[in-house]
Structure 1
Amino acid sequence: MTESSRPPSDDSRSVDYEPHAVDVLIVGAGAAGARTAIQLVDCGVDPADILVVGKRRHGDAHTTWARGGINGALGTHDPEDGWAVHAADTLNEGHHLNDPAKVEAVTRRMPALLRELDAWGMPFSRTDEGDIDQRYFGAQSFRRTAFAGDHTGESLLETLVERAQSLSIPYRENVFVSKLLTDEGRIVGAAATDLDTGDFLLFEADTVVLAAGGYTSLYRRHSSRDDENTGDGPALAYDAGARLMDMEFVQFHPTGMVGARYGDEWDGRLVTEAVRGEGGRLYNAQGDRFMERYSPDQMELDARDVVARAIDAELAAGRGTEYGGVYLDISHRDPAFIRERLPRMSERFADLGVDLATEPVEVAPTAHYGMGGVVVDDDGETDIEGLYAVGETMAGVHGANRLGGNSLAETIAYGQVAGDAIAARLAEGNDADADATLHTAARRHFADLATLAGSDGSTPPETLLDDLREILWDHAGIHRDEAGLVAGLDALTALRGRAIDLDVGDRTSRSFEFALNLQFGLLVAEAVLRSAHERTESRGAHHRPDYPDTDPDWRRNVVVERGTLGAMALSTTPVDEPSAAVRDALDAGYELDYHQLE
């Protein structure tokens, strides 16, 4: 692609912007984006033709908060494990709403990808024999979660960033992409703002990859930081004309820190599943190990939705702590073992005056992962030609609930899948020229952003974001019902009305960024509420007390797309069947023997 130049404009609302031309623009600087970029170079794409942009410092992404591990059927401890069993566990945990082809694409690739990471220097924890160690994780039949202490995501991203930098892959920090630009059903570029300088940026691109994370920080209690996982990827894709799917399925991790006990800045932050994977036990305030009542076989290592609802039930029954949590206790394990296997957790709680090796910590459920996202094909391409989505931004792998350890696996597996497909696409060439369309749409969007910046309204956008989080927590949280979902949609309509009178600073201010986050959040929240209202059953992370049973007729995915006059239109689509190998693994009925940990 040749360098673009901005044509003269007679649009009185036009503003200055910097044009940049690149073959592949990757939006998101976490593991999914980094692995996609690496694969492109490995396939022969010139690094100079790739640009990775992120809203934060390069390498400072939500990936770092995924601490417990990354799945792959290496069979380090359990040689009877295999990719098909991994796929079967993923489908069972997803209550068979997953796309089997995407599940298989991940599980088949993961053993080799883990070994590749090892070769790149990722500091995996080791067995006494020197092999990559693997631990138990909830709802898995075998020990297949590879890990680096309890800082797996952090170490993974550091390894990928170092690899990308060694390949001279360009990146740009503190760039907020606010609109994708299309022409006749294909991607032609993206509009963005440099958050440091306030300059507008126009990226002309043949291919755009959305690796911008999920949407769980739109909930009041969440494991993300407030300025990440705000729904950027799904919102950008939907606005461009792509479809969303499974947006009702939001995973509430059982063990988030309790802010009333540890401070508001820690409220909802994750206490990794590795604590339970290494034998941690849950107790209520009366000292009862309550998972014996809810899941006597798998106990604390049952599926995340099961454990989260069990904790919520204990709190609702008045058996929680004075701070609104329950106790997670691993003090029966040897202190040296705890410090070796859970170093970050040990350090974090030590800083808060708690010794993880001798006393319990207080936890409660927290919004952690959105199983829904953008509809993509087997290569990760959306309905828009040249627009791809990977990682938590895409839908299909996890179904109704995510298997712990599969989030990091998805990022690197589909980074590889998409990278292969995009490299092949680039090799075919693209002679299309959408320069006029691109610049016309960009000028219009930048003019709107210029108007937004400096708006002298009555309400700070951060206030409305907090209100939005309350709406989703109250009406589309661990439990949903007809009345609550309708009330949530009404509350969202009222919130939209208040959002027309914002008090926004200049383009380098946090309030400008919050205003953009709010626009994305309003769209994604509506998709969550409408999808949850549409699904009249309970399945996986979607629990409706007014429809408590799982309905076999609802083994369908809810799809959201733009309807007439801009309204959301919902439909359903059937789920494909797994391959023969995976069906055999499902029929075999493998199951974790939890009591090996006792």
Structure 2
Amino acid sequence: MDPGDETEPSYGTGFETHAYDVVVIGAGGAGLRAAIAAHDAGARVAVVCKSLLGKAHTVMAEGGIAAAMGNVYAEDGWQVHFRDTMRGGKMLNNWRMAQLHAQEAPERVMELEEWGALFDRTPDGLISQRDFGGHRFARLAHVGDRTGLEMIRTLQQRTVALGIDVFMECTVTEIFTDRSGPAPTVTGAFGYWRETGRFVVFEAPSVVLATGGIGKSYQVTSNSWEYTGDGHALALRAGASLINMEFVQFHPTGMVWPPSVRGILVTESVRGDGGVLRNSEGERFMFDYIPEYFKAETADTVEEAEGWYADKKNNRRPPELLPRDEVARAINSEIKAGRGSPHGGVFLDIASRRDADFIRRRLPSMYHQFKELADVDITAEPMEVGPTCHYVMGGVEVDADTERSKVVGLYAAGEVAGGMHGSNRLGGNSLSDLLVFGRRAGHNAAYHAYGAAQDRPRIRDEEVRAAADAALAPFRLEEDGGAENPYTVQKDLQDVMQRLVGIIRKADELTESLAEIGRLKERARHLLVEGHRQYNPGWHLALDLANMLLVSECVATAALAREESRGGHTRDDFPGPDPEWGARNLVLTLEGDAVRLEQQPLPVMPDQLKTLFEDA
């Protein structure tokens, strides 16, 4: 699909050229919502996606969209949602982003419904909301356990109906900037068609990054092949900064057996709808891992937990619904203590607690996933699950209200943006994050493009040719005995990240990881791919590897520097949180080829918001 302005290429032969006001990179929830917002603001918009439209990782967010609509509990409101989000992130969140998110999420959900999303309903006909870990009230608007799929379907249908141009199976490798002024300024982007290898130049004063996460740098991950940290690396190379990169979320429940499906997500909806975690001895071990600051609202006996299901308003929540970082560490501890399941996980049991019809109705995707992939009937037997690399809280440092990075004209939304979730993301907050900040990024990108319409910096010919030369470098290396296979380098990177920068970290292992990544970067200079530019997966991976190595270095660098345990970052040599570190963010930039780290104080929360935590 080659839409857009079919003007004569201006950079010499072999360069297809298009001009837009806003180019959105990524077609998940954040990217499509940004594109719709920019279009509604009057901009000419293009969406560029690495895969096919409709296949974004958003579809894997199955549980629901967190929004304090009050449909199940009238006492829920944005203030409670804000407090839950900040506490879940261990107070390291950008408070303004968390506030905007909590305030605007209900309106974004209602907007989706107006555009055709079909949500499950309460007996009164309102949008149904389910329980999820870390949320005080049931607030996840859902469609069974296929909410992300319904969200993508709705946004995709809206995008197509509005006539927004979509470049599918097109990978962006460089953001062009003009560096003649006081700050880098976006001039466009460079990419290639994955099928033909033909190069594409996008002239645009505004670019929105909505590229998702970094999970394919790890061996065990719920992420699909697209998640190679492209947006994070594009932003760094363009002159933007990254924040919170040490915080990688290991979702507590991924499949562990058979090996071919290891890491595939098992939605938190299973626990939200009554599933419990058991070790090999049949014990509900989560009662042994309740943190002090959650004890006031978490059941510490089986009887209290069971009472909650009978009368939720008068009893404390079961510990299976603690935030994800707490549950993942507990599962990891049980496995290390020798109380794991036969295949190296623990048991997630809903079969003994809900009838088969309820499970098939509320969890249809999970029922089919285990039946087809593992030959397990979850209505009759427990699932084996274990932690899987799922989400990165860190990303591009952006202004909370506009989503603009330090690069003029460069915006970011969704998982590629940092700050919103602090050190740990609550389940369900991802989908509402995409909607709230995707809309804000799209609107502001369009406004910037309008202001830049009369004086757009031009892309220089030498920039385009340099980007093309860099993309073609893996074909040009002469095989002299030092050539490297990109698949081998990726496999070795995944091994390093899984072993040394995983769920539990130590200084000596992090130091070793940085040395290993340095050696892998040197090997990556000698990548050799065979064949031609027409659909060549080896070439595609060779280009992705540059991003994966850079972002992995950022994760390890920040993890080594943060000498405490907080949220998704657990240091075995610094086992507890440190109040001094709780007031600092780590910011990463790129100077030449070197990753630079500096500390930055947290934004100060206003007094009127601080009062929300006084009785918490």
Letter in 2 for 1:231: G
Match of 1:223 in 2: 222
Q: How does 1:403-418 map to 2 (within 5 A)?
A: 403-418=426-441
Q: How does 1:65-84 map to 2 (within 5 A)?
A: 65-84=60-79
Q: How does 1:454-473 map to 2 (within 5 A)?
A: 455=477, 457=479, 458-473=483-498
Residue 63 of structure 2 contacts residue 268 of structure 2 at CA under 8 Å; is this kept in 1?
yes
2:153 is aligned with 1:128: no
Residue 73 of structure 2 contacts residue 137 of structure 2 at CA under 8 Å; is this kept in 1?
yes
**Stretches of 4+ aligned residues off by more than 6 angstroms:** 1-4
Structure 1 residues 367 and 186, CA gap change in structure 2 (3 angstroms): same
Give the deviation of 1:109 after TM superposition.
Answer: 0.5
Residue 73 of structure 2 contacts residue 138 of structure 2 at CA under 8 Å; is this kept in 1?
yes
Q: Provide the rounded CA distance (Å) in 1 between the counterparts of 2:109 and 2:498.
A: 36
2:14 is paired with a residue whose SS is coil
Match of 2:503 in 1: 478
2:207 is aligned with 1:208: yes
Q: Provide the rounded CA distance (Å) in 2 between the counterparts of 1:328 and 1:8.
A: 57
Q: Provide the rounded CA distance (Å) in 2 between the counterparts of 1:2 and 1:330.
A: 54
Letter in 2 for 1:153: G
TM-superposition CA deviations, 1:27-46 (whole Å, max 9, x none): 0011101001111222233x
Q: Provide the rounded CA distance (Å) in 2 between the counterparts of 1:451 and 1:526.
A: 22
Q: Provide the rounded CA distance (Å) in 1 between the counterparts of 2:387 and 2:6.
A: 50
Letter in 1 for 2:578: D
Structure 1 residues 425 and 7, CA gap change in structure 2 (3 angstroms): closer
2:451 is aligned with 1:423: no
Give the deviation of 1:585 after TM superposition.
Answer: 2.5
TM-superposition CA deviations, 1:535-566 (whole Å, max 9, x none): 01111111101111211111211000123x53
Stretch of structure 1 that moved more, 116-125 or 290-299: 290-299
2:149 is aligned with 1:154: yes
1:361 to 356, 366, 383: 383
TM-superposition CA deviations, 1:187-210 (whole Å, max 9, x none): 001110100111011111111110
TM-superposition CA deviations, 1:49-95 (whole Å, max 9, x none): 11001010111110011111110000111111111111111000101
Give the deviation of 1:364 after TM superposition.
Answer: 0.5
TM-score by length of 1: 0.93
Q: Provide the rounded CA distance (Å) in 2 between the counterparts of 1:466 and 1:472.
A: 10
Identical-pair percentage: 41
1:20 to 15, 18, 41: 18
Letter in 1 for 2:272: G
Residue 72 of structure 1 contacts residue 107 of structure 1 at CA under 8 Å; is this kept in 2?
yes
Match of 1:328 in 2: 348
Q: Provide the rounded CA distance (Å) in 2 between the counterparts of 1:50 and 1:455.
A: 37
1:183 to 178, 186, 195: 178
Stretch of structure 1 that moved more, 296-305 or 573-582: 573-582
2:524 to 499, 505, 525: 499
Q: Provide the rounded CA distance (Å) in 2 between the counterparts of 1:498 and 1:159.
A: 44
Match of 1:286 in 2: 281
Residue 84 of structure 1 contacts residue 581 of structure 1 at CA under 8 Å; is this kept in 2?
no
1:557 to 575, 580, 585: 585
Q: Provide the rounded CA distance (Å) in 2 between the counterparts of 1:401 and 1:472.
A: 19
Match of 1:594 in 2: none
The RMSD of aligned alpha carbons is 1.7
Q: Provide the rounded CA distance (Å) in 2 between the counterparts of 1:193 and 1:111.
A: 38
TM-superposition CA deviations, 1:500-537 (whole Å, max 9, x none): 22231332200011001110001000000000011011
Match of 1:242 in 2: 240
Match of 2:364 in 1: 343
Match of 2:255 in 1: 257
Structure 1 residues 582 and 85, CA gap change in structure 2 (3 angstroms): farther
Match of 2:321 in 1: 301
Give the deviation of 1:390 after TM superposition.
Answer: 0.7
Letter in 2 for 1:250: V
Give the deviation of 1:285 after TM superposition.
Answer: 1.1
1:222 is paired with a residue whose SS is coil
TM-superposition CA deviations, 1:96-120 (whole Å, max 9, x none): 1110111111111111111111111
Give the deviation of 1:567 after TM superposition.
Answer: 1.5
1:453 is paired with a residue whose SS is helix
Residue 182 of structure 1 contacts residue 438 of structure 1 at CA under 8 Å; is this kept in 2?
no
1:447 to 459, 469, 473: 469
Gaps of 5+ in 2: 291-298, 301-317
1:400 to 423, 435, 441: 423
Letter in 2 for 1:362: E
Q: Provide the rounded CA distance (Å) in 2 between the counterparts of 1:65 and 1:515.
A: 26
Q: Provide the rounded CA distance (Å) in 1 between the counterparts of 2:133 and 2:10.
A: 57
TM-score by length of 2: 0.91
Residue 88 of structure 1 contacts residue 583 of structure 1 at CA under 8 Å; is this kept in 2?
no
1:386 to 402, 406, 409: 409
Letter in 2 for 1:301: L
Match of 2:296 in 1: none
1:158 is paired with a residue whose SS is helix
Give the deviation of 1:6 after TM superposition.
Answer: 4.4
Residue 205 of structure 2 contacts residue 452 of structure 2 at CA under 8 Å; is this kept in 1?
no
Gaps of 5+ in 1: 10-14, 590-598
Letter in 2 for 1:511: G
TM-superposition CA deviations, 1:457-507 (whole Å, max 9, x none): 533212211111111111111111110000101111111222222231332
Letter in 2 for 1:213: G
Residue 88 of structure 1 contacts residue 586 of structure 1 at CA under 8 Å; is this kept in 2?
yes
Letter in 2 for 1:559: V
Structure 1 residues 8 and 304, CA gap change in structure 2 (3 angstroms): closer
2:119 is paired with a residue whose SS is coil
Give the deviation of 1:419 after TM superposition.
Answer: 2.1
Letter in 1 for 2:246: E
Structure 1 residues 168 and 516, CA gap change in structure 2 (3 angstroms): same
